[in-house]
Chain A
């Protein structure tokens, strides 16, 4: 892939992004939380959420065995229940991409790989690009990169922008998710600005968090990111995907995120092509709720496999 160089004139001025009122954002989020999702719309919403999960394992202690188990779970969430979708993708470190790809062959489940010195992003451009190349060459369908938060907070927006654009070029056909690590950005104004930088630099998805920093995904942060996607769509007609990641562990909260998505971006985004949940324990809670909708009673957690 040819690395694209950007002339300073063509780069938008990111020092003047729209302002965000935190109180107003929190009020709007509270309204989504009071939507009452019952009966058939609950089942439909839960299945949709399930199909949007990026089942994730990103630990120093990951092994081939662990990744194999996770891949099996991804394709067979809970075989007792009929009519379940699979998750959207399995998300692993670059070294496990080849294995995951082989395990998931024929399932339609994508392999996502983190890259660019995940989770801190503290490395040279060269290392980050070669990290990305490695993941893509091993067969990653999607690349989850981290932005350089230090450079961002120093005000070097051009650096952050150029880096994303270069990683995007290195991705080739793989779709690029850009992790803003909003827990380190501290204000919603910063979240808005980082979202714009990522989108204009070529992100296919913007993603809240690595899951290694607290707070991870929050609803106010997600709303600001969705609104940035909407503004970009208004201006260009192009869709960008969204992935809240980390901290979304219950079916109830997942439904609140979907309500937010539906009422902010509408129907076109209600698919795993444009929306993902980065989560590891969410799937089992959703399965438990779906089983309950079918049987009328909750089952013990021990009936749901933990991989």
Chain B
């Protein structure tokens, strides 16, 4: 019986009013009572056999055209680029490269559709079309999930359980608002803006398309949307689905291409509104480009969120929240909890648990139903992540990676920690957009608020504590658009999402998400 040992373990809670100068000793005691025996996790005594999702049911074309005015048309330049599977580095399809002429055609089609049909349609008819898109998306969810995983590298578990159902939910939710705008904004006479130019990122390709298209259509606007060049496929499958839905021609136009195509949308004179989700650098360029024009804008940009664990937090659940916060979608999440702050009294135990949990994460074939962390989206992004890992090592933070095996082909990155990081490290200050977590400790509430806010971004944050009043205190003082309490990375169509400071402006989702597409 280890009664004496038990006494040591519990002495911390038995004497809450210790003199402060003994804090250092308390930490040493904590270290001493954590024994060195490790759990053997993630090895092969009982390994899970491969369980890949079938790809036989999907329908992918060899080549995809631009979706303009309800038809698939060839790009005026005749140029195409490859889209590849980042898990295998194999080509999936050729994608049309749209230039200024193509964008102009798309904007003209959107304008014509707005003037001739869409703005004339009774609001409840608009709603019917959006409901129809939502239902078709649910029907084809399996195909969309597999293509999303093949094109973007995210695990099938996430595309199947999160991306695709949530995208359908956004269409359902905004379909409901279409004929109720006057009740949403009473006595303010809400009116559509006209043509919206929308540029979306590669981390949640279909979901971001839904976030953009659904509120724009519900409020009576028409759309020219550009998906990211590495992940165009589900947007183009959505174009096929929209064509099948019978939506009037030109209401949704999808043009594919890289930065040049995006610039053509931003600079087109007949666009009334720009909605952009992506990097802060590009967001700044867009804002400069549209300065002095009538174009409205919403920008949803980068983030470097603080995920804060207090001593009184439910520790095992908090460790899950840390993992979900940074390793969800390989860390390609603008609101990822990439800066972990742990209160010193529980730091040792949280870090030990976190390291053990890392060993149970399965990194590999994104199509395998047991994969937790899939492939990095592109070679370029993997290079960026590796660059930051080198920077972090040189800066002197303690580097730790899980020991899992990764496939030899494809772009993969092991879950990575930088322990004992400090506020002045670049890996703490800059958005990495990968499975890399920096870990800092703190002592007091004031200290952690100051550190959490000491960053140009302000998109999201997480707070873990058993005490309700502490949560409300933190949410008042943290400068972030979204704050999760005792959970992380939860999304819902009814909840507004958006940032403070250089994380952008405007809100998407919920009632708030209607406003940027309306004039009053």
What is A's interface to B at a CB cutoff of 8 Å?
4, 6, 9-13, 16, 18-21, 23-25, 27-28, 34-42, 44-45, 48, 165, 200, 202, 227, 230-231, 233-238, 258, 262-263, 265-268, 270
Contact = CB atoms under 8 A, between A and B. Distances in A.
Contact of A36 (B5, B37, B161, B369): B369
Contacts of A234: 34-35, 349, 352-353
Contact of A235 (B33, B314, B321): B33
A266 B486 contact: no
Contact of B46 (A6, A21, A262): A262
A227 B51 contact: no
Contacts of A202: 1
B380 interface: no
Nearest to B44: A267
Contacts of A20: 314, 316-317
Contacts of B3: 6, 10-11, 200
A117 to B, nearest CB: 24
Contact of A28 (B313, B320, B349): B320
A4 to B, nearest CB: 7
A266 B39 contact: yes
A41 B47 contact: yes
B6 A10 contact: yes
B46 A36 contact: no
A43 B251 CA distance: 54
Contacts of A38: 49, 51
B466 interface: yes
Given A238-B2, A262-B46, 4 more contacts: A34-B369, A38-B49, A234-B349, A235-B33
A16 B48 contact: no
Contacts, number: 122
A50 to B, nearest CB: 14
A41 B46 contact: yes
Given A13-B10, A13-B13, A23-B487, A45 B35 contact: no
Contacts of A41: 46-49
Contact of A227 (B40, B313, B316, B352): B316
Interface string B313-345: 111111011000000000000000000000000
Interface in B38-58: 39-43, 45-49, 51
Interface string B346-388: 0001001100000010000000011000000000000000000
A263 B41 contact: yes
B46 A258 contact: yes
Nearest to B45: A267
A13 B16 CA distance: 13
B157 interface: yes
Nearest to A48: B46
Given A13-B13, A34-B369, A234-B34, A266 B46 contact: no
A266 B40 contact: yes
B9 interface: yes
Contacts of B353: 234
Contacts of A27: 320, 487
Contacts of A19: 312-314, 466
Interface of B: 1-7, 9-10, 13-14, 33-37, 39-43, 45-49, 51, 157, 161, 312-318, 320-321, 349, 352-353, 360, 369-370, 466, 486-487
A187 to B, nearest CB: 12
A265 B37 CA distance: 12
8 contacts: A9-B7, A12-B6, A12-B7, A28-B320, A38-B51, A39-B49, A41-B47, A267-B41
A124 B180 CA distance: 68
B43 A21 contact: no
A92 to B, nearest CB: 28
A40 B51 CA distance: 11
B4 A10 contact: yes
Nearest to A263: B360
Given A39-B49, A41-B49, A10 B7 contact: yes
B314 A267 contact: no
Given A25-B317, A237-B37, A13 B14 contact: yes
Contacts of B43: 266-267
A61 to B, nearest CB: 38
A150 B349 CA distance: 33
Contacts of A40: 49
Given A13-B10, A13-B13, A45-B46, A28 B37 contact: no
Contact of A233 (B2, B39, B370): B39
B35 A267 contact: no
A256 B477 CA distance: 42
Given A21-B314, A21-B486, A268-B40, A235 B34 contact: yes
Contacts of A10: 3-4, 6-7
A36 B314 contact: no
A199 B320 CA distance: 24
B321 A24 contact: yes
A21 B39 CA distance: 24
A301 B462 CA distance: 51
Contacts of B486: 21, 23-24
Contacts of A34: 157, 161, 369
Nearest to B14: A13
A45 B369 CA distance: 18
B129 to A, nearest CB: 34
Contacts of B161: 34
Contacts of B9: 12, 235
